[in-house]
Structure 1
Amino acid sequence: MEKNCEVVWEKCLSIIRDIVEWQPYKTWFEPIKPVKLENNVLTIQVPSQFFYEYLEEHYVELLAKILRRELGKDARLEYRIVVEKGSAQRHPATVDMPTHYDKPQTQNEVDFPLFQQNTPVKNPFVIPGLKRIQIDSQLNPHYTFETFIEGDCNRVARRAGKAVAEKPGATSFNPLVIYGGVGLGKTHLAQAVGNAVKKLHPHKTVLYVSTEKFINQFIDHSKHNAINDFIHFYQLIDVLILDDIQFFANAEKSQDAFFAIFNHLHQSGKQLVLTSDKPPKDLEKVQERLLSRFRWGLSADLQVPDFETRMEILENKMRNDGLEMPKEVVKYIAYNIQTNVRELEGALISLLAQSSLNRKEIDLDLAKKVLKSFIKTSSKEITIEAIQRMVCEHLGVPYEKLLEKTRKREIVQARQITMYLAKSFTKNSLKTIGEHFGGRDHTTVIHSCQTVKDLMETDAAFREMLMELQQKVQLSAL
Structure 2
Amino acid sequence: MSITAQSVWDNCLEFIKDNIQPQAYKTWFEPIIAVKLTDNALSVQVPSKFFYEWLEEHYVKILKVSLTKELGEGAKLVYIIKMENTYGNKQPFTEKIPSSNRTSVKSQDVDIPLNNKSPELRNPFVIPGIRNVKIESQLNPNYSFENFLEGDSNRLARSAGLAVSNKPGGTSFNPLLIFGGVGLGKTHLAHAIGVDIKDKYPEKTVLYISAEKFTQQYIDAVKKNNRNDFIHFYQIIDVLIIDDVQFFSGKTGTQDVFFHIFNHLHQNGKQVILTSDKAPVDMQDIEQRLLSRFKWGLSAELQTPDFETRVSILKNKLYRDGVEMPEDIIEYVAKNIKTNVRELEGAIISLIAQSSFNKKEITIDLARIIVEKFVKNTKREVSIDYIQKVVSDYFQMDIDTLQSKTRKRHIVQARQLAMFFAKKFTKASLASIGSQIGKRDHATVLHACKTVDNLSSTDKQFRKYVEDITKKLSI
Query: What's the TM-score, normalizing by structure 2?
Result: 0.54
1:85-131: CA deviation from partner (whole Å, max 9, x where unpaired): xxxxxxxxxxxxxxxxxxxxxxxxxxxxxxxxx96453218553693
Question: Which secondary structure does the structure 2 equivalent of 1:237 belong to?
Answer: coil
Aligned residue type for 2:206: V
Contact map agreement 1:381 1:477 (CA 8 A) in 2: no
Distance in 1 between residues matched to 2:259 and 2:145, nearest whole Å: 29
1:241 corresponding residue in structure 2? 241
Aligned residue type for 1:359: K
Distance in 1 between residues matched to 2:306 and 2:331, nearest whole Å: 12
1:132-151: CA deviation from partner (whole Å, max 9, x where unpaired): 27010000001111110000
Tell whether 2:310 aligns with 1:321: no
1:140-186: CA deviation from partner (whole Å, max 9, x where unpaired): 00111111000000000000000000010011110000000000000
Tell whether 2:360 aligns with 1:360: yes
Cα offset for 1:477? Answer: 12
Distance in 2 between residues matched to 1:270 and 1:382, nearest whole Å: 47
Cα offset for 1:358? Answer: 1.2
2:186 corresponding residue in structure 1? 186
1:221 corresponding residue in structure 2? 221
Tell whether 2:273 aligns with 1:273: yes
1:307 corresponding residue in structure 2? 307
Question: Which secondary structure does the structure 2 equivalent of 1:152 belong to?
Answer: coil
Unaligned runs of 5+ in 2: 1-20, 29-49, 58-118, 122-132, 381-385, 400-472
- How many residue pairs get aligned? The number is 276
Cα offset for 1:256? Answer: 1.0
Aligned residue type for 1:232: H
Cα offset for 1:324? Answer: 1.1
Match runs of 1:142-161 below 5 Å: 142-161=142-161
1:208 corresponding residue in structure 2? 208
1:404 corresponding residue in structure 2? none
Distance in 1 between residues matched to 2:192 and 2:285, nearest whole Å: 29
Find runs of 4+ consecutive structure 1 residues off by over 6 angstroms: 377-384
2:297 corresponding residue in structure 1? 297
Cα offset for 1:234? Answer: 0.6
Identity rate, percent: 58
Contact map agreement 1:382 1:477 (CA 8 A) in 2: no
Distance in 1 between residues matched to 2:165 and 2:283, nearest whole Å: 26
> For residues 477 and 213 of structure 1, do their structure 2 counterparts lie closer, same or farther at Cα, with a shift above 3 Å needed?
closer
1:196-243: CA deviation from partner (whole Å, max 9, x where unpaired): 100111111000000000001111111111111111111110000000
1:162 corresponding residue in structure 2? 162
1:131 corresponding residue in structure 2? 120
Question: Which secondary structure does the structure 2 equivalent of 1:184 belong to?
Answer: coil
Query: What's the TM-score, normalizing by structure 1?
Result: 0.54
1:398-419: CA deviation from partner (whole Å, max 9, x where unpaired): xxxxxxxxxxxxxxxxxxxxxx
Distance in 1 between residues matched to 2:213 and 2:259, nearest whole Å: 16
> For residues 256 and 383 of structure 1, do their structure 2 counterparts lie closer, same or farther at Cα, with a shift above 3 Å needed?
closer
Cα offset for 1:382? Answer: 11
Contact map agreement 1:337 1:374 (CA 8 A) in 2: no
Aligned residue type for 1:187: T
Cα-Cα RMSD: 3.0
Match runs of 1:44-55 below 5 Å: none
1:59-83: CA deviation from partner (whole Å, max 9, x where unpaired): xxxxxxxxxxxxxxxxxxxxxxxxx
Cα offset for 1:285? Answer: 0.6
Aligned residue type for 1:303: Q
Cα offset for 1:329? Answer: 0.8
Distance in 1 between residues matched to 2:295 and 2:390, nearest whole Å: 42
Question: Which secondary structure does the structure 1 equivalent of 2:360 belong to?
Answer: coil
Aligned residue type for 2:300: A
